[in-house]
Structure 1
Amino acid sequence: MRLDKYLKVSRIIKRRTVAKDAALADLILVNNKVAKPATTIKPNDIIELHFGLKILTVKVVQTELPKRNSDEMMFELISEVKKS
């Protein structure tokens, strides 16, 4: 699944265009490499997002959409750090 679409469907970022713009601005790393919107996301990838004064690091658990009314998460939060 594409990075921008994954960020939207996993609800990390609310809109796909915002995810695309963040990736184009080099604010997203996948496995410690700068990622573009079309970067393919696989399970066990580590995504690091730089939002203003916050760095969010998540591990991809699955790329398939969970079934409706399911408690399954698409990602696991590793860390959320505030810059000073």
Structure 2
Amino acid sequence: MRLDKFLKVSRLVKRRPLAKEIAGQGRITINGQPAKASTVLSEGDELVIKFGQKVVTLDVTNLREDAKKDEAETMYRVTHEEHVN
């Protein structure tokens, strides 16, 4: 599954164009490598996402083409969250 689609379906990002923009700015890494919106994810991948004042590290646990709101949180597991100034 593409990174931008995963971010939208998992509800980490509200809209897919926003996910593409974040990836294009170099604010996402997958397994330590910079990621583009078109990067293909696999279960077990580690994502590090920089959201403004927060850096979130998470593991991809489940890839689904669509997910209801309560199912979306099962697609990833947050391993570390850090606030930066």
Could you tell me the TM-score, scaled by structure 1's length? 0.90
5+ residue gaps in structure 2? none
The 5-angstrom pairing of residues 1-84 of structure 1 reads: 1-65=1-65, 71=71, 73-84=74-85
User: Alignment partner of 2:22: what SS?
Assistant: helix
The sequence identity of aligned pairs, in percent, is 36
RMSD over equivalenced CA pairs, Å: 1.9
d(CA) in 2 for partners of 1:32 and 1:64? 23
Residues 68, 5 of structure 1: alpha-carbon distance in 2 compared, 3 angstrom cutoff? closer
Moved over 6 A (4+): none
Could you tell me the TM-score, scaled by structure 2's length? 0.89
| 1:27-70 Cα shifts (integer Å, max 9, x gaps) | 00000110000000000000100111100111000112477586
d(CA) in 1 for partners of 2:13 and 2:30? 15
d(CA) in 2 for partners of 1:56 and 1:79? 6
| 1:60-81 Cα shifts (integer Å, max 9, x gaps) | 0011247758657000011110
Amino acid at match of 2:45: D
Q: Which has the larger share of helix?
A: 2
5+ residue gaps in structure 1? none
* Number of residue equivalences: 84
